[in-house]
Structure 1
Amino acid sequence: MADEATRTAFIEIQGRMIETTGKLKQVQSQMRNKEAEKKRAFLTLEELRPLPEDTNTYKSVGRTFVLEPKSFLVNEQEKKLKDSENAISSLQTSKEYLEKQMAEVETNLKELLQQDPGIARQIMSMTV
């Protein structure tokens, strides 16, 4: 009976670990995407700022380009930069939370294995 309970607990912990790992990878991927978006916006701003105000600037819309005033493009890039920074800080909070959850799951797994060393042998025999 205790062996079955231990096995059930292990399967539950394993499921939580897989789920948390997936979420963590997803958050890290989103952070990389937002960092790239932020860098693109920053570099575009750096190129736009030194231009005179009366310069013809174009915005890419699909496969066409639309004439827009420089101030409009600068404001748009500043907004993208600010939105990316906010999203990155939010994702960083999520990442820290998921890392804490992962540490908790690892601790639970270690406790389970210390509690019943026999299950570690069973787990090792199940792996291919």
Structure 2
Amino acid sequence: MAQVSIRYIVDDVAASIAFYETHLGFAIERDARPAFASVTRGDLRLLLSGPGSSGARAMPDGRRPVPGGWNRILLTVPDLKEEVARLKSAGLVFRNDIITGVGGSQTLLEDPSGNVIELFQPAGH
């Protein structure tokens, strides 16, 4: 599979690098702090665009890209309850409790800028 890139607008590139490296197992690919960094995990490349990056520039109508929202990356984990306990013990913020449906269980974790990461455990695991 080819590498997939996703861009997140972040408030603080250094804090975002630390979050993704420390808690979710990403590795730094490119570090251009304070404006930009890219981190990778497997075939996923996450572009972290800070306030000084080209990805965070205002649109012609004046609107600015901002962190947060509901679009998200999804990371599959083998044991969701264990992963949530580990991350909560590190003081990380979740938007909800674990919910379970026909496809599996999920919860929504926030990065330091409020961007969402869905942690997902497929049904039957």
TM value normalised by structure 2: 0.20
Q: Which has the larger radius of gyration?
A: 1
> Going by fraction, where is strand more abundant, 1 or 2?
2
TM-score normalised per structure 1: 0.20
- Greater length-normalized contact order (CA 8 Å, ≥ 6 residues apart): 1
